Amino acid sequence: MADDKIESVKSLFTAKSAKVETNKGEKYYENLYAQCRERLDNLKKIVPVSNNIKIKEAIEEEGVSRRDFLKWASATTAMLMLPASFTPLVAEAATLMNRVPVVWIELQDCAGNSEALLRSDGPTVDEIILDIISLEFHETLMAAAGHQAEKQLEDAVETFKGKYLLFVEGSVPMGLNGQYGTLGAKGETFIDHLHRVAKDAAAIVAVGSCATFGGIPAAAPNPTDAKGVMDVVNGKTIVNIPACPANPSNMVGVILHYVLTGQLPELDSLLRPKFAFGYRIHDNCERRAHFDAGEYVEEWGDEGAKNNFCLYKMGCKGPMTFNNCSIVRYNEGVNWPVGVGRGCIGCSEPDFWDKYAYERPMANANIKAPTGGVEKTVDQFGLGLLTAAGIGIGIHAAASAVAGKKDKGEA
């Protein structure tokens, strides 16, 4: 794209996270609708940056019907917490996803989030959309290697200066002056690499538990002094999409929100989009009725397990974990960990490996009474604070611990 053209559309790419409006009345949505309409009209005038795949063709090729696409648009509108009247706009925004350049870098990681992005066996609309975004650089997916790859990154950063969304996968090893992670012939440290590519990004999207909060590399004793992107980069708008791996629906949701509104979605205090991390797994879990009825799996393979009882006593951390995987699910929406009988290990929370990834209930959870009502986001009560149900958990867990001691004749 010519330089002057890029300059002229730069104003469409100044990413800030959306202002938190607590009282969103009819007027607010009328204004937002008008803004989105204008933005989409402007985006339509821009030639796709490099990826010319049309969503209509991609969807037909994958055998997704128009009806299914509209169903997806309607579900995505609801997921983004927008009124149903925005559905046609969301469908239209999906066709314009290739107007936003994306640069994707990997640091200290297992590439699990790239795997999630890649999965192509019967792809959902979300995955098709991820195929049509303008992925200007992704070292794992692209054909170029070595000097060619480095040149491609330099070109992308220069060409789309100030416009690209930078997706970062993996933690940043800060130990030994960054020598635990280097790349390229010049041995650039991951720290310098991140700073260099982040400098001209419109915004940064940290994807997966490692890029957001350090993840497993940061688990004790954290030999490389691994950190999440937000602890390393200052002065940029950062969105965190944690989980191991991050759900493709949430990646699409963030890009789509940006394409549609020109803003990144509302974030919680951990910089996670509220549309995806605004409620607890526990509140949308299909085993919740069993939790409320006090029906638990007591050991693997018992009658409770056969009857899909609650996994809390087997260490499920759903009550402490904010994520939408109990709604959106994984593998084309087929299932999710708790659905197949494995308790949640809190992978979307900071320090999850040390704090939550063990098969016991949290008898010593920092449980406090709520100030009233049911919590809606992690911000309202703070991390690890639970509702009245949580108090029940605490009592239950303590009782379990005592019962366990009794069984061993220690109490």
Alpha-carbon distance 315 to 196, whole Å? 42
Q: Which residue stretch of 188-196, 213-221, 278-286, 401-409 sits at the interface with ligand SF4 (rule: CB under 6 A)?
A: 278-286
Task: Give the nearest distance from C-beta 327 to ligand SF4 in angstroms.
Answer: 10
Alpha-carbon distance 136 to 74, whole Å? 29
List binders of ligand SF4 among 132-191 (CB under 6 A): none
Q: Which residue is nearest to ligand SF4 (CB)?
A: 318
Nearest to 324 by CA among 80, 160, 144, 149: 80
Alpha-carbon distance 267 to 277, whole Å? 9
Residues in contact with ligand SF4, shown as a per-residue x/- string from 318 to 357 under the rule CB under 6 A:
xx-x-x-x----------xxx----xxxxxx---------
Nearest to 113 by CA among 169, 61, 163: 169
List binders of ligand SF4 among 239-268 (CB under 6 A): 243
Question: Is-cis flag, bond preceding 221, omega within 30?
Answer: yes
Alpha-carbon distance 85 to 102, whole Å? 28
3-state secondary structure of 137: strand
Task: Give the nearest distance from C-beta 182 to ligand SF4 in angstroms.
Answer: 30
DSSP one-letter code for 280: B
Taking the least distance from each CB to ligand SF4, the nearer of 253 and 346 is 346
291 touches ligand SF4 (CB under 6 A) = yes
Taking the least distance from each CB to ligand SF4, the nearer of 43 and 338 is 338
Per DSSP, what are the bridge partners of residue 167? 104, 205
Task: Give the nearest distance from C-beta 242 to ligand SF4 in angstroms.
Answer: 8
Alpha-carbon distance 361 to 404, whole Å? 12
Task: Give the nearest distance from C-beta 89 to ligand SF4 in angstroms.
Answer: 29
List binders of ligand SF4 among 294-323 (CB under 6 A): 310-312, 316, 318-319, 321, 323
Q: Name residue, tokens 């046609």.
A: 88
Q: Which residues bind ligand SF4 (CB under 6 A)?
A: 243, 281-282, 285, 287-288, 291, 310-312, 316, 318-319, 321, 323, 325, 336-338, 343-348
